Chain A
């Protein structure tokens, strides 16, 4: 017999109470794990997307909000606002190359898919894309698709797809590059402008500069020829990460509320247990238990609840984030929270953090009841009917 065995026997004596207490902790921890899991790969993912964009400067319309800045990195649909005339003026500047993007969205088999209007030759060179299947032809009747889209919708070169009622032939499938470029349909810019009736406008322009040390001068040059906002890739990344960080903090606060509810649940469970086991506390004292032993026994008990609830919560949290990620990724407002790429199916770091947090919170919840237990007088406790 040891303290842990005694604790375990006391925990499982009331099966339903055991179950519900564990469930309360598990819900709190699962919500925490889900948020951490969905968000943990997020920063890496955003940095990766910034690399994928490959630009030194991003030219956007004036007055774009933070969400639109995020969308530049996540590839979400963006309003068209920069006219071709400005694109041409910027492209004509010396020492830089401009790559306009028109980001729209279409659907394949009723699932939303990004559709990007690009300048085919320039973009292929800029991105260094290789064709995995078919050929690289983008015009008013042909598109190319990323390898992820091909796999997900079982498409290959030569297949047809319909965008806004117009049939297009898939001329080729790009080689896998392991980022969001795999998950889009690419169409010639002018065709997208015509299909979506946006006139001669684009969403934003990625700019590659020849001399990175003159970046401030390039920004001034661009702003001299066009009425646009220019952000360096580093500034963009910084502001996007700040926004994502604050949203993440707000969501973690929600998880904290769930855990707080579990905290009071444990306090209640432990107080009930002490009330029911007053006589046994008296017996233990009569046969030689010190007050600190009684305190420890009840503290172990609440910490045990934390450990078990934490284990269940971690498993449920990871399973939930696995199934929730694709749905979250489909919503434009929550897409930046997680996509299949950013979700961590298992993370030793998150598991450890969540378990330690669960045990700590539960042990803290046990402090007050444990103090009450060890304050009981042995004679009063033993005489309790």
Chain B
């Protein structure tokens, strides 16, 4: 495979808090730059764990994760936070917006954490929310938005610092079919801008648009 932006080597994650659970076992994975990939598989078989490890949200028990050529598993917590802030955007199934903030502020927070000034935050957050079709919802709080609208705010937030990679964990899990269609449009648009998109999903509709699909079963990788 040419030019992988994400690469894992013998990636394993074992939880051992009195009861040993193997969440991932020796996963070797390569995701090409600019691709749209899906990770599928039954619930509880390690898809989200893989996404968290790729995104530097969690540390593996053994094995390595490379982002471009940087080994994520060897960098310290602060550097990892910087990488999450600058290079990776996350979108979660439950949207995970901050409930006390408006849509605009939720997008701004990501930029605030990256050290971007207030004026630029506001301009870019407005632009991103326009891009996802929420120009009239800038001052709405998450509880005033529908599921689909919340997910679009989450996408805008994930794109706030112009990351190279967008990691999405069951992004359509809480959406109706119409919202899912809108989400797919957004994903296609983002991927069309050259960003690498990795989606963990159960949805066949979402998987259908992926150029590459990986399947995780019992913590092991099986290419479909």
Q: Which residues of A contact B (CB under 8 A)?
A: 1-3, 5-6, 9-10, 13, 279-280, 282-293, 377-379, 382
Contact = CB atoms under 8 A, between A and B. Distances in A.
Nearest to B52: A379
B96 A289 contact: no
A-B CB proximity, top 3 nearest: A288-B85, A1-B108, A290-B81
B121 interface: yes
Contact of B96 (A3, A6, A283, A290): A283
A229 B2 CA distance: 104
B182 to A, nearest CB: 22
Contacts of A13: 100
Contacts of B118: 1-2
A284 B113 contact: yes
A15 to B, nearest CB: 12
A340 to B, nearest CB: 47
Contacts of A280: 98-99
6 contacts: A1-B109, A283-B98, A288-B81, A288-B85, A378-B57, A382-B92
Contacts of B157: 287
Chain B interface residue number, banded:
20 to 34
B101 interface: yes
B165 to A, nearest CB: 13
A293 B96 CA distance: 19
Given A13-B100, A280-B98, A288-B82, A377 B58 contact: yes
B52 A288 contact: no
Interface of B: 52, 55, 57-58, 77-78, 81-82, 84-86, 90, 92, 96-101, 105, 108-114, 118, 121, 157-158, 160-161
B48 to A, nearest CB: 9
Contact of B112 (A1, A291, A292): A1
A133 B77 CA distance: 83
Contacts of A290: 77-78, 81-82, 113
Most chain B CB atoms below 10 A, which of A6, A287, A289, A378: A287
A378 B58 contact: yes
Given A1-B121, A280-B99, A287-B158, 13 more contacts: A3-B112, A6-B109, A10-B100, A13-B100, A284-B109, A284-B113, A287-B90, A287-B157, A288-B161, A290-B77, A290-B81, A291-B77, A379-B58
B18 to A, nearest CB: 16
A284 B57 CA distance: 11
Interface of B is mostly: helix
Nearest to B100: A9
Given A2-B118, A382-B96, A287 B57 contact: no
A286 B112 contact: no
Nearest to A290: B81
Contacts of B77: 290-291
A162 B116 CA distance: 79
A1 B108 CA distance: 6
B101 A9 contact: yes
B57 A286 contact: yes
A288 B92 contact: no
Nearest to A381: B57
Contacts of B84: 285-288
Nearest to B114: A288
The CB with the most chain A CB atoms within 10 A, among B55, B85, B98, is that of: B98
A285 B100 CA distance: 17
Contacts of B111: 1
Given A6-B109, A379-B52, A379-B57, A288 B101 contact: no
Contacts of A382: 57, 92, 96
Contacts of A286: 55, 57, 84, 90, 92, 96
B78 A287 contact: no
Given A1-B108, A1-B121, A3-B112, A285 B98 contact: no
B117 to A, nearest CB: 9
Nearest to B59: A377
B85 A285 contact: no
A292 B57 CA distance: 16
A26 B110 CA distance: 35
